[in-house]
Structure 1
Amino acid sequence: MKQPFLIDPETVKKNAYLPVKLSELSKENPEAALMLLQDWGDGKKPVKQLWDEVIKYLNGEE
């Protein structure tokens, strides 16, 4: 019987690629990238929320 993952693979992907996406955002919207990076560093937002916000900015939704 196959055991389920202990950590959601999607969460692992978001943790791994958040710096890449923040770098992309910094080239398009440096102010938003810095704000999100500070929120991440200050522990104000979880990675999932940061990921969603970065993707919204990159897609022009914010």
Structure 2
Amino acid sequence: MNLLSFLSFLILAITLLTMVFGVIAYFLYKARERKKNIDDLTYEDAREKEHGELLFFTKN
């Protein structure tokens, strides 16, 4: 096997592995996002839940 064919095979293998890992990472990301189940909590809702006038700051 000469050097040129070996290097071209190496580039092809690395390219294919990169694509495969990209597809796997995409599906794992989508699965994590689907599992997250984010609620839309507004500032006013959080304030009512904590029974306070201000959530992050205090009055002097």
Task: Give yes or no for TM over 0.5.
Answer: no
Instruction: Name the structure, 1 or 2, with higher relative contact order (CA <8 Å, separation 6+).
Output: 1
- Report the TM-score, using the length of structure 1 for normalisation: 0.28
Task: Tell me the TM-score normalized by structure 2.
Answer: 0.29
